[in-house]
Structure 1
Amino acid sequence: MAQRKSLKADTCPMARALDIVGDQWSLLVIRDAFDGMKRFGEFQQSLGVAKNILSDRLKNLVQEGVLELVPASDGSAYQEYVLTAKGKGLFPVVVGLRHWGEAHLYARGEPHSVLLERDSGKPVPKIELRTRDGKQLDPDATFVKKLPAKAAR
């Protein structure tokens, strides 16, 4: 199998992010972690992915600081994968993909899962981007500018 080109040094933040979470299994592992899964067997059962592929994705997500391995919460000899702050920062991405999928990939009335607020049981509102003055932000109203190295941070 051909080796993927690394995007770690790319000037585009999206390319760098995709270098870490840009394949389906990594994003589905992250989705499952948000759904409370923590153990290898839980991820494997949920995803139905080959163990070697899952092991590779989990290892990469730990190396990249998206997940961390911690002792099992039940005191057993197992270890659990938990989201780090960096991993939790992907929540809007996962919700945005979910909302896009709901809007564009299902026929009217076709059953699918929905994300609900734990306290109210109501669907999570659609993510909307807004301008600084509160107006809805459309793609046509944005542009990308590369910053010089010193100004980048």
Structure 2
Amino acid sequence: MPFLRLFSQLLGRLVFCLRWTYQCVCVSFLFPGGYVGAIRAAQLGLKVACIDRDKLGGVCLNWGCIPSKALLHGAEIYDEAVNHGKEWGINIGEITVDWSAFIGRSRKITGQLNGGVAYLFKKNNIEHIQGHAHIVSEKIKLNCESFCSLCR
């Protein structure tokens, strides 16, 4: 978290210094700092577009950190029940895993967090553009087209 806080502060200072030069900021989600930086830029008065190839939140929220930690937590609960339950006087018969529910809980957590990011984007007037982006000179190339809808 200290890294994300530092990133947000640095981006805030950078955006403040550049706000008279640029009319918009486009942020592609590489990690949670992407949407934190986008929100901060919008709060500083810039028009912001975030480009991501899929759902809001990027890799960390949708496929990496968050769902992995949810699955690890479920595995930890299973391990505690199987290997340490007797220490607490808890006698459990055969334990089975409902894999669809196990994965479903991870997806539910991700969905809730996606909704939270969408709410923050709406609240701060941030445009979410779904696509694959590349920075090419001073322009953003989105799905093989030069693009930045807010800078036109």
More strand by share: 2
TM range (shorter): under 0.3
TM-score, structure 1 as length reference: 0.26
**Pair member with larger Rg:** 2
Query: Which structure's relative contact order is higher, taking Cα pairs within 8 Å and 6+ residues apart?
Result: 2
TM-score, structure 2 as length reference: 0.26
